[in-house]
Chain A
Amino acid sequence: MQKVPPSGLGPLGKREERLAWGMLLPTILSVSLIIILPLCAIFWISFKPISLADLRPPTVLVKEQLKGQINAAGDAAKIRYRIRNSSQSKPLTDVTISDIIPESFDIQSTDERCSVDETNAIYCIIGVLEGGQREVIEAEVLINDSFFGSEKQYKITQPSTSSVGDNILTNSELTFENFQKIFDSEEFITVILTTLFYTVFGTVGAVVVGLFAALLLNINFRGKGLVRGLYLFPYVAPVIAVAFSWINLFDPFSGSINSLLLQMDVLDSPINFFGQRPNALIMVTIFEIWRYFPLSFLFILARMQSIDIEMYEAADMDGASPLQKFWYISLPMLIGIMSILFLLRFIWTFNKFDDIFLLTGGASGTRTLTVNVYEQAFAVSNIGAGAAVAVVIFIFLLIFSLLFFKFFSQEEGL
């Protein structure tokens, strides 16, 4: 008989595996709860005709009142329940209301929809309550002696209600309306083109400008560390601060840039940088480049400093000029990191929302897909349409990620 080496995991290996999953569990749980679940929700919502107002599901509102002159024991009075559907449009079904009437009242008669049991509890079946419909239920009571002895309370218990509302989030009503709406609008093509312009130029710009900054900081000079720190400011500062500062700087009436350009006779009249097509789109793209060139320069500089000096020495021996050295040695070495940067930044610029939202709010031809999600969901209050745009974004991203992983597995890891 031939001896076979044990296959699979031994007991030690199994323990290690259990430990590993145990250590990953918190991360997996939290990430799936807050990222995977919402993603599935987005797909679900995108097929729902749902607006912002639907987030408050309809409920039954009840007001309890005591009517009648009460002076002595034996007086007649009425306990009145005013019932209302909180929604103006959505019906509620199987509406019931129950309440316990204090012992100080003797119930004489009630509405025919109600029944009273021996513990003085009243239970009414109302049935369907249309949107905005009101109902009144009265119970005629006689006051007995204990009413005056105790504190004059009739609302000892809050009436409780039950109802079955049709929750739009959970029912099975599905529709393609949202997708139809966003694909049909003429604006959608413009939105896609805007997104592509912003993403492509923003990304290429940030990488190229970052390359120049890295070339600068690859030279040795005094105060280099300081300059390097300074050039990271745009990325480190909160986006809200720099965005408002740009708006302030480029204001058409009281902005410094406009008055500077006017004073230097470059312009005849002030330019509305953020409020006009196509200026606004160009400006938000420039902002994107300004804010993210630090990242690319950091990466490219790190790569540059790891290039072997001997290569340059060899090139010097062969009489290569500085530009030749850059073109034939540095650039080929940097292509790898630059393409990774390009892919990463491409995806991230595509996903960018804050910058444009703060600078223009998506006006003047700067509405990208991400801003469109917000516009549809909150400005037009059509959450379903917003989710549909989000699904479109997600499909784009899926394609990008496939490309990304194809490259990522080939290139050196970051």
Chain B
Amino acid sequence: MTYKKTIFFTAFIVGILWAITVSIVVSVILSFITGSPLKPNILIVISIGSIAGILILHSLRSNLILSLLIISSILLSTLTYGPITTGDDISHLLNYASQSLFAASTVLPLTKILSGLSFKESGRHEIEEAFIRFSSGFGLIFFTMIVLIPFYVMLMTSLKTQQELLLNPLDFSIDLSKGLILFRSYSELFQDFGFGRYLWTSFYVSTATVLVTLGFSIPGAYAVARLRFRGSSAFSRSILLIYMVPMIVLALPIYILFSLTGLRNTILGLVLIYPVTTIPVALYMLQGYFRGLPYEIEEAGLMDGLSRLAVIWKITLPLALPALASVSLYVFMIAWNEFLLAFMLLDDPITFTLTRGVASLNSSEVPRQHLMAGAVISTVPILLIFLFLERFMTKGLTAGSVKG
């Protein structure tokens, strides 16, 4: 059997790699939750991982291996050689819980990862599959952690006080008994920093942007998609070119123009500018969708004596509602998240949008938990909209993400 050695080696290596992954993840997660100093003891972790891999390969029952490993991990930890090294001041319960968590999350997924592997009928396929299953597991954990950690830290920091943050930057445990005091950063932002008004400004600026954008881009997109006219392809190309103009290049002359005309520090100025940055995207997305609609229905409408505009209003738009929803959401997101123009054009707190308001918190005089609370306030609405309307949003993103 030429593969026998390789299979043994695969189980050995995958076991080690998986155990290392799990040990790091368990330590990081428990550290972030409890604030206790946990770290993996790499040598122990490697030996446990390799043993687990080999035991699973010899198709022992996983319950047996699991209990074996949990018991040995806990035993080792009483001898201060546990796979997860904890500090001395940590409670026994947490200690044993972390050792068992490590053992369980090493063994159970590892059984799945190595499930196709056996000495009898395995070849290159099974070995590759084992590695692929390991990479998938690793990838899932890795991506989930790198995506979640910044948001988790943002949320938890906003609930802390300055002293707690300086004392132990890792301690994100929340003392629920404190009750509403936890949210003092938020109440201060709303009471003293005018975040209620910023929220409202952002909301209506974004809504106005959506409405203006739709009003301009629907006729434009229809014309590009349906009507024959000279220069239509040149037009759609130049629309795409507009995407490529960086905002900062435009922001400079707009700043000069607005300074000279007194439009700086006005909401009107923002509402004038924002739609223009989104109209090209919206037009591009919509014309793609309009092209996909069956032209026959519109022709029937035309034959029955409807005018072109009536056809658009009564036939095309109702059919294109899902696309309109995607485009609206996407434009809303762009306007809500817009930072550069708001930052350059608004100096007066009366006119601040939410992003501009959060930027104003970035000073040494404002404590960090306020900044993070501001970040949470600006993130939550858009994430909620995203979660509830993900289907539309994802579609909008894919269609419109020519723009970043």
Contact = CB atoms under 8 A, between A and B. Distances in A.
Interface stretch (A95-103, A118-126, A138-146, A294-302): A294-302
Contacts of A185: none
A393 interface: yes
Contacts of B81: none
Contact of B402 (A236, A251, A344): A344
A213 B146 CA distance: 12
A73 interface: no
Query: Is chain B's interface secondary structure helix, strand, loop, or mixed overall?
Result: helix
B150 A41 contact: no
B27 to A, nearest CB: 7
A260 B147 contact: no
Given A212-B139, A245-B375, A254-B166, A16 B394 contact: no
Interface string A37-74: 11101100100000000011000000000000000000
Nearest to B368: A248
Contact of A230 (B31, B40, B148): B148
A260 B260 CA distance: 51
Interface in A345-376: 345, 347-354, 357-358, 370, 373-374
A4 interface: no
B276 A30 contact: yes
Contacts of A169: 256
Interface string B33-67: 00001111000000000000000000000000000
Given A212-B139, A397-B245, A246 B165 contact: no
B319 interface: no
B144 interface: yes
A362 B280 CA distance: 30
B247 A400 contact: no
B154 A241 contact: yes
Contact of A299 (B154, B355, B401): B401
B317 to A, nearest CB: 14
Interface string B11-39: 00000000000000001100110000111
Contact of A227 (B144, B308, B340, B372): B144
Interface string B236-273: 01001110111111101110110110000000000011
B170 A260 contact: yes
Contact of B386 (A55, A236, A347, A408): A236
Contacts of B386: 229, 232, 236
A234 B147 contact: yes
Contact of A27 (B250, B279, B383): B279
Interface of B: 27-28, 31-32, 37-40, 124-125, 128-129, 132, 136, 139-140, 143-144, 146-151, 153-154, 157, 165-166, 168-170, 172, 215-217, 219-220, 222-224, 227-230, 232, 235, 237, 240-242, 244-250, 252-254, 256-257, 259-260, 272-273, 275-276, 279-280, 283, 288, 308, 333, 336-337, 339-340, 354-355, 358-359, 362, 368, 371-372, 374-376, 378-379, 382-383, 386-387, 390, 393-394, 397-399, 401-404
Among all A-B residue pairs, the 6 with the closest Cβ atoms: A351-B246, A241-B375, A38-B253, A23-B219, A348-B404, A20-B227
7 contacts: A13-B228, A34-B272, A236-B333, A239-B337, A248-B368, A263-B31, A323-B132
